[in-house]
Amino acid sequence: MTGAVIEIQGLTKRFGGTTAVDDLSFRVEPGVVTGFLGPNGAGKTTTLRSLVGLVSPTSGRATFDGVAYAELRDPLRTVGTALEASSFHPGRSGRDHLRVAAAAAGIGDARVDEVLEWVGLTAAARRRAGGYSLGMRQRLGLAFALLGDPGALVLDEPINGLDPEGIRWIREFLRRLAAEGRTVLVSSHLLSEVQQTVDRVVIISQGRLAYQGTLDGLEAGTARVHVDAADRAELGRVLAAEGGAVETSPDGLHVAGLDAARIGELALGAGLALRLLVPEKEGLEDVFLGIVGEGGVR
C-alpha cells in the first residue's frame, strides 16, 4: 500500500445548461486527511464521481499519481471509494455484500472478515444490510472501500447523519488511515463536521475552487486585531504605514494584515500607550460561509 497523489486538473462538467464543475484544479497529498467542502450543489459529488470514472468530464482530468481511474491497472488496490451509503442489496448480509465485491476482484474471504473487524461490524456481519442503521451502512461502505488495501480513499459525506459516537469513531479511523500513509479525501457540506478530522481543506463554491490549504491558513486570512490608544488617529497612521488594513470604529481600530505582537511593537516604537490589544478570531464556520457566500447553495 502506497499513498497516491490525487490531482484534479482543469475539470469542467456540464449537465445540459448546468455547469456543475467549472475549471477546477487541486491536489490531494498522502499522509493527511483532506476535507472537500462546499454547500449543497457546489459540485462535490460530481467531482468525486469524475475522479472514479462514474462521470465523464466535459474537459479536464482527474488522476491518481498521474493515471486516470479507467487506466489504473489495479483500481481496487489504488483507490477505495464510498460514494453512497445505501447502495447495498438490502436482502444480502453485510458480509455477503463484501464477499461478492471481493470475489469479483480476486480478493478472498479472509480479507472480507479482516475489514469487517476493522470497521467494527463483525457481530452484525451476517445480518441483512437492509436492517443496518445509517452508522452501520457508513461502516460497511468503509469496509468495502478498504477491501483492496488501497493507498487512496475517496469518501462522499462519510460523517453525514452519524451520532456523536459514530462521528468520533470515524474521525479516529480516518486519521489512522492517513497516518499509515494513505491519501484520504472526505467530502462534507459542513466545515464544523470535519474540522477536527482534517489537516487540509479544499473548498469549492458553484463548481469553482474557493480555497485550498490548511485550516490555520483559512483562519489567518481573516484574522483581525482590535486595538486602541488615546491618540487613535496617530495609531491608525502608524499601523497603516506598516501595511495594516485599518478600519476605524467607535470602539477603536480593527486591523487586518498585522498580528497583535507586531502592533504592540509598532505602538511602542511610536511612543503610543495602548489601552486595548485583542486578537479577533472569526469562527471557522463563519470564514467558511463567507467564502462560499450566500449564493453558494443551488
Ligand X SMILES: Nc1ncnc2c1ncn2[C@@H]1O[C@H](COP(=O)(O)OP(=O)(O)OP(=O)(O)O)[C@@H](O)[C@H]1O
The site for ligand X (CB under 6 A) is made up of 15, 18, 20, 38, 40-46, 189, 298
Minimum CB distance to ligand X, residue 35 (Å): 13
Q: Are strands 59-64 and 67-68 parallel, antiparallel or unpaired?
A: antiparallel
Residue number, 202 or 246, with CB nearest to ligand X = 202
Residue number, 95 or 189, with CB nearest to ligand X = 189
Instruction: Find all residues with CB under 8 Å of 179, minimum gap 6, and list them.
Output: 31
Minimum CB distance to ligand X, residue 156 (Å): 7
Minimum CB distance to ligand X, residue 62 (Å): 13
- Whether 126 and 93 have beta carbons less than 8 Å apart is answered as yes
Residue number, 62 or 107, with CB nearest to ligand X = 62
Minimum CB distance to ligand X, residue 286 (Å): 20
Single out the residue of 90, 54, 57 nearest to residue 75, CA to CA: 54
Beta bridge mates, 213: 201
Minimum CB distance to ligand X, residue 18 (Å): 5
Residue number, 270 or 289, with CB nearest to ligand X = 289
Instruction: Find all residues with CB under 8 Å of 284, minimum gap 6, and list them.
Output: 191, 192, 195, 215, 218, 219
Residue number, 30 or 43, with CB nearest to ligand X = 43
Residue number, 183 or 205, with CB nearest to ligand X = 205
- Whether 182 and 1 have beta carbons less than 8 Å apart is answered as yes
Minimum CB distance to ligand X, residue 45 (Å): 3
Q: Label each residue of 54-65 as H, E or C.
A: CCCCCEEEEEEC
Single out the residue of 190, 186, 208 nearest to residue 198, CA to CA: 186
